[in-house]
Every structure is written in structure tokens, then in C-alpha cells.
Amino acid sequence: MNLPLFAPESMNTIGCFSVALDRDSHLTHLRNATPILPDAQWLFININPSTFTDAGYAARLAELTREAGLAPERLVIEVLESGGTDVADLARATRAFRAQGFLVAVDDFGAVHSNIDRLLPLKPDIVKLDRSLVRAQVQLRDALMPKLVDLLHESGMFVVAEDIESSDDLMLAARSNVDFVQGWLFGKPSPNLAQRGLAMPLFEHVFDTLAQNRSTERFASDLLLMPYRSNLSQAVRRLAAGADAEVACAELLAMPCTMSCFFLDHGGRKYLPALPGASAKTPRERFAPIADSASGRWDNHPYFVEAQAKPQEVIVSVPYFSVTGLSLCVTLTIATQRAGRTIVAGADLDWRRLIDAAAMIL
């Protein structure tokens, strides 16, 4: 017969002991840090979820903090958002700690149990991204991190990237626009405070590199897009003069990165049939249900809206996944008049082929 390792009463005793030990560690941390903490600096304190959700502890910790000589506003309460804790309890505790003046940080976001629908009800001040995001496969992390950081910022949270151990990690964090970084690249754990400004050369180098990269990429992109922009402008002039669409766009369609040319009316619906270009994709059977775009409306797309707002000007979209081309593309558009009607003519370009060409230039 198998017996449980602990009886329920023992489990309760262990839980109480864990909370008591957690509270003692907070008091010790406060007493040790107060004499050496510089002005205008936060003190981070880790807290167990069961301690965090314990009724009345927010007020008690605020009292202990003041007794130690610090204002609660100087402390960041760092709690692990684990799947084993009820999100409503965590949200109530977060409100209680913030009401006492503390800031609240959620640690290890992106780990096994945490997810965005559990995070948003908490509304913490700071979110610390789990190291698994920094350590993810390069293409995944480069695509995911900036979008995740944008989402957290839009939700009113600061973002910390943990486990920064190399200049590449720091580059990713800077490119993703995180607010704070933490890791061994800046120093190992020590009983002494780090010298202020010690990491500044690392930050200066990363931001200088990013600025140079942006300038170079913009130049390469403008250079590569220039003939496509020029050919689209010429095609639109021919269309406005009444030329057949295939004749008007012949040169543009023959260019290596052109996937298609399309023509929309003032409401964003198909005005003329789309024409395949030199880089057109062969339709795949499994995407047959979405292959016909004849009934689609495209007036909600930024490249259509902006073209309507700036007639006769070439509009360039950001790279996006095209449902019609089933690949990453960039769209060029121009609004013009044809037979007394406003139309938007455009070209979808294969973004990956353009990037490969840019890499050869750079």
C-alpha cells in the first residue's frame, strides 16, 4: 500500500513555514540594502506567490519597509506568475501592493505556465521576460521579441530582458526596444554595488551599431525599390491614359521580384484582374479555399488608405504576410484616375528576394 509522503496537516505546516521564511528573507534584505542603496534607485525583492497573495502582507511589508528607512515606492515586488496560483488572487494582491506604493514586477514571463491572458488582468508595472525568449532559435526570437515588447508597452508595462550574456543578446534587447536589461554581460552577483555607468560603453556601442544598420538597410531598400517604384509610376501613367493593363505593366511584371500587379476601385474591390509577375508563386492545393481573391475587400489595408490620401504618390508598405501570395511581401501602390474613376494600382514584391539582393549589396 502506497502512503502519501506528507499528510494534509504536514503540507499546511510546510506552506506556513515557507511563507514565514519568505517574510524573514524580506526583512533581512531590507536591513542589508538600506544603508548602501543609492538615492533614486529601486530595490527588487523576490516574493513567493503564496506570500504575495497572503491577505494583509502588503500593508505589513510597507510598515517594515518604512521602519527600515525606505519608502515603499523604492521597492519593486518581484513575483513569479505560475500556473498554480489563481489569477484573480494574484490580481487582488497586485492591487494591494500597488495601493501601498510598491511597484510590482512579474518574473519569468514566457516560461511554462505564464501566458498573455493571465498577465493582462494583473496589470503589473514591470514584466521580466524569461530567458527562454532570449535563448530561442534566432529567427523565432528576432520575430517574436519586438512584437511581444510592443504589446506589453501598449498594455502599460515596462519590460526587462533577462539573461543577457553576450553582445548579440544585448543587440536583440535593444532592437526589441526593451526598457531594462539584466545579465552576466554587466557583471556577476556581488555583495558590492556595481560602479555607476560601468556598462555605458556597451550601450553606446549597441545603439551606434543599430543606427548604422538602419541607415544601411534604408539605403539598400531604397536603392533596390527605386526601379520598382519608377516602373509602377510609368505603368500607372499608361493606365490613366487608357492603355491595356497587361501592356501598361509589362516592364514591371518582368522584374525579378514582382509577384503580381493588381487594380482596385475606390471601395477596395477588384477593378481589373490581377496579373502574375516574374516572381509569382505556384498555387498550392491545400490553400485552394483562399486562392480566389475576387470577392475580397482591401480598403482596410494601410497601403490602400494611404494611397487614397496621397494621389499620384508611390506608397510603400511594411513587409507582411500576403494571403494572396502566401509569402512575405512588400506592396507598392498609387491612386490615380482612369476613365473618370479613382483606382488604386499596386504591385506585390517578394520581400525575401529583395532582402537577399540587399545582402549582396551590403
H/E segment holding residue 77: strand 75-80
pLDDT digits (tens, 9 = 90+) for 178-208: 999 999 999 888 777 777 788 899 999 999 9
Task: In whole angstroms, give the CA distance from residue 337 to residue 344.
Answer: 9
**H or E segment to which residue 103 belongs:** strand 103-109
pLDDT for 15: 52
What element of type H or E holds 142? helix 138-154
Q: Which CA distances in Å does 252 have to 6, 85, 155, 225, 261?
A: 75, 58, 43, 12, 8
For 257-273, write each residue's pLDDT tens digit. 999 999 999 999 999 99
**Could you read off the pLDDT of 206-225 as tens digits, one per residue?**
999 999 888 877 777 788 89
Question: In the predicted model, is pLDDT for residue 138 greater than 70?
Answer: no
What mean pLDDT comes out for the span 60-80? 94
* Per-residue model confidence (pLDDT) at position 305: 96
Interatomic CA distance for residues 274 and 296, integer angstroms: 12
CA dist 276 and 129 (Å) reads: 44
- Round to whole Å and give the CA distance between 153 and 179: 9
* 227-361, CATH topology level: Beta-Lactamase (3.30.450)
Distance, in Å, from the CA atom of 211 to the CA atom of 171, rounded to the nearest integer, reads 12
Nearest one of 200, 219, 324 to 262, comparing CA atoms? 324
The pLDDT of residue 82: 62
Provide mean pLDDT across the span 119-127: 90
Bridge-based pairing of strands 126-129 and 158-161 is parallel
If pLDDT is split at 50, 70 and 90, which confidence band does 362 have? low
Q: Where in the chain is the domain with CATH 3.20.20.450?
A: 8-211
Question: Do residues 48 and 26 touch, judged by C-beta distance below 8 A?
Answer: no
pLDDT of residue 140: 67
Q: Is 44 helix (H, G, I), strand (E, B) or coil?
A: strand
Q: What does the pLDDT read at residue 7?
A: 36
CATH number of the 8-211 domain:
3.20.20.450
DSSP state of 317: P
Residue range(s) occupied by CATH 3.30.450.20 in the chain: 227-361
Which is more confident, 96 or 140?
A: 96
Instruction: Tell me what pLDDT residue 320 has.
Output: 83
pLDDT over threshold 90, residue 95: yes
Helices 87-99 & 57-68, crossing angle to 10 degrees?
Answer: 30
| Res 146 pLDDT > 60 | yes
- 324: pLDDT confidence band, cut at 50, 70 and 90? low
The answer, yes or no, to whether residue 301 has pLDDT greater than 80, is yes
